[in-house]
Amino acid sequence: MEITAAIMIIAGTFFILVAAIGLLRLPDLMTRIHAATKATSFGLLLILSGLGLYFATWQITVKAILLVAFIYLTAPLAASVIAKSAMVEKDDR
Amino acid sequence: MTASFFDFILYIALAVLMVAFFLTIIRLAKGPHLYDRVVALELITSISAGIILVYSMIADNPIFFDVAVIIFMIAFLGTVAISKYLTKVD
C-alpha cells in the first residue's frame, strides 16, 4: 500500500512541477492558464489519492474524495473567469 | 518497505514542490500583465496546499488536511473576486 502511495505522490508532484514549468515557459496568457489549471488539478488528484491510501481511514478518504470533487468543480470555473475577464479587457493589455 | 523509505519519498516530493514554487514566484515577479500574476497566485496557492498535504503525511497528523481545504476555498474565492474586480462594468 505504501508503494502505491509513494508512486502516486511522486507522480502528483511531477505533474505540479510540469504545471509550474509550463507557466514559466509558455508564451501566451491562455496557454499559461491551460498549463496551470489542468496539470495542477491532476497532480492534486494524485497527491490526495496517495494521502487517502497512506492514512487509510474512513474519514480521511471521504474528505479526500470531497476535496477532489471540489477542486475539479472550481478549478475550471476559476480559469474560465480569468480568461473571460482577460478577453473582455483585452484593450487595456 | 520500512517507514524511512516513505519519509524519503515525502522529502523528495517536498523538494520538487519547492522548485515548482520557486518557478511560479519567477513568473509572478516578471509576469507581463496582471492576469499572468493572477494565474501565478492561483498556482502558488495550489502548490502551498500540496506542500501542506505532503507535510501532513510527514508529521503523520491528519489535522493539517483541513488547512488545505480552507486554502482551496479561499483561493477560489480570491481568484473569482479579483477577476470580477478587474472587469470594468460600464
Q: Residue ranges per domain, chain B?
A: 44-90
Of B46, B54, B69, the CB nearest to A40: B46
Q: Which of A26-35, B4-13, B15-24 has the highest mean pLDDT?
A: B15-24
Query: What was the pLDDT predicted at B89?
Result: 67
Q: Which helix (H) or strand (E) holds B42?
A: helix B34-58
Please determine, for residue B2, whether its predicted confidence score (pLDDT) is greater than 80. no
Three cell numbers written together for B58:
510527514
pLDDT tens for each residue of chain A, 93 residues long: 788 888 999 999 999 999 999 998 988 888 899 988 999 999 999 999 999 988 888 988 999 999 999 999 999 999 999 888 888 877 555
Q: Which residues contact B6 (CB under 8 A, 6 or more apart)?
A: A2, A5, A6, A54
A17 belongs to a structural domain: yes
A43 belongs to a structural domain: yes
In the predicted model, what is the mean pLDDT of residues B18-34? 89
- Look at B79 and A78 and tell me if their CB atoms are within 8 Å: yes
ipTM (interface predicted TM): 0.87
Query: What was the pLDDT predicted at A13?
Result: 93
A10 belongs to a structural domain: yes
Per the structure, the complete domain to which residue A56 belongs is given by 2-88
- Find the residue in B nearest to A82 (Cα): B83
Is B9 in the A-facing interface, judged by CB distances under 8 Å? yes
Among A44, A17, A74, A26, smallest CA distance to B36 is for A26
- Look at A82 and B38 and tell me if their CB atoms are within 8 Å: yes
Total of domains in chain A: 1
Is B45 in the A-facing interface, judged by CB distances under 8 Å? no
- Look at A47 and B54 and tell me if their CB atoms are within 8 Å: yes
Please determine, for residue B31, whether its predicted confidence score (pLDDT) is greater than 80. no
Query: What was the pLDDT predicted at B47?
Result: 93
Of A9, A40, A60, the CB nearest to B43: A40
Q: Chain A partners of B13 at a C-beta cutoff of 8 Å?
A: 9-10, 12-13
- Look at A44 and B50 and tell me if their CB atoms are within 8 Å: yes
Enter the pTM of the model: 0.89
Q: pLDDT tens for residues B61-81?
A: 888 888 989 999 998 999 899
Query: What was the pLDDT predicted at A92?
Result: 52
CA angle B73, A71, B22 (to 5 degrees): 80
Query: What was the pLDDT predicted at B4?
Result: 81
Q: Chain B partners of A23 at a C-beta cutoff of 8 Å?
A: 23-24, 27, 39-40, 43
